[in-house]
Structures are given as structure tokens and as C-alpha cells.
Amino acid sequence: MTTATIDKSTTGSSTLQIATFHVDNLLLGLQIHQVQEINRHLEVTAVPHSPRVVRGVINLRGEVVTVVDMRQVLGLPTAELTKTSRNVVIHFGGELVGLMVDQIADILTIDANDIDPPPANISGVDGRFFKGVHTTKDEIVVILDVDEAFSVS
């Protein structure tokens, strides 16, 4: 089994900026360089015969973006969209993908040495979806492994 690592090459230092967001009771994070934008565009067009994790597609300034329901990816119960729901648009596999999340949180600047290996599971979610965890004074931030998360069908 391969252990995912945090990419320090984009900063040239051990300080990382992490964009954080909530999915159910999890506070997840991605390195900021992975995020293109965060938007409220939640009017998705369903795609027949797509995998269960694909919520649909959106038109983002003329570009088709696949929207993935992060609750489905992580095996969490489906929830209704709310006024705080957002799409975190990232680059993945040469295209844009929207991660549908429950709520956006903060941008954190942390030292890579303060990221610990993930446990086998977090809140009932398989630990293989995570690169690591960072504990703040108030909460635990779980660093998402997008490659592993998108390997789910």
C-alpha cells in the first residue's frame, strides 16, 4: 500500500496553504494550488448512466465541469443542497472538476511537519481517502487525497 504525501514542491518551503471545507461533520482540506475557484453554481444537469458519485455537469464560462458529490465519494448520507453548499473547482486529470461540499471554511497556513499520517478511518470514512490530518486548537483538518477519492466508482 502506498502512502500519499503532501506536495511541498509548489511552495519551496515546508509551509502549506490549505483551503478547507465541510462535508457532513468532516473538515476537509486541499492544498490551495489544487483549487481553481469556489462557486455557488449548483444548478447541475444530470448525466444519464454516470457513476453514482457524479451529481452532473455545470457550464462554467463556456467550459463543461463535472460535479462530484463528496458525500457520495466518502460514503456519507446524501444531504439536501443549502444556501451554504458550494462547488470547489479543481484541476484533475487535465480537466476541471467541481467538488460539491456543504460549506466553505478558511484558508490555513500550516507547517508540513504538523501534518500527521491519517488514521485507518475518520468518522467512519476509510482513511485511504486522506493524505494526513492537522490538529488545530479547535478542530481536526483532514487533508483530502483527490487521486484516491476519484478512484471510487
Q: Supply the pTM of this predicted model.
A: 0.86
Q: Are 89 and 97 in contact (CB under 8 A)?
A: yes
Domains of the chain and any CATH numbers? 15-149 (2.40.50.180)
Residues in the chain: 153
**d(C-alpha 124, C-alpha 58), whole Å:** 30
Alpha helices in 1-105 (DSSP H): 70-73
**Rounded distance between C-alpha atoms, residue 79 and residue 68, angstroms:** 14
Helix (H) or strand (E) holding 149, with range, is helix 146-149
Q: What is the pLDDT of residues 69-126, one digit of tens each?
A: 999 999 998 888 899 999 999 999 889 999 999 999 999 999 999 999 988 878 778 8
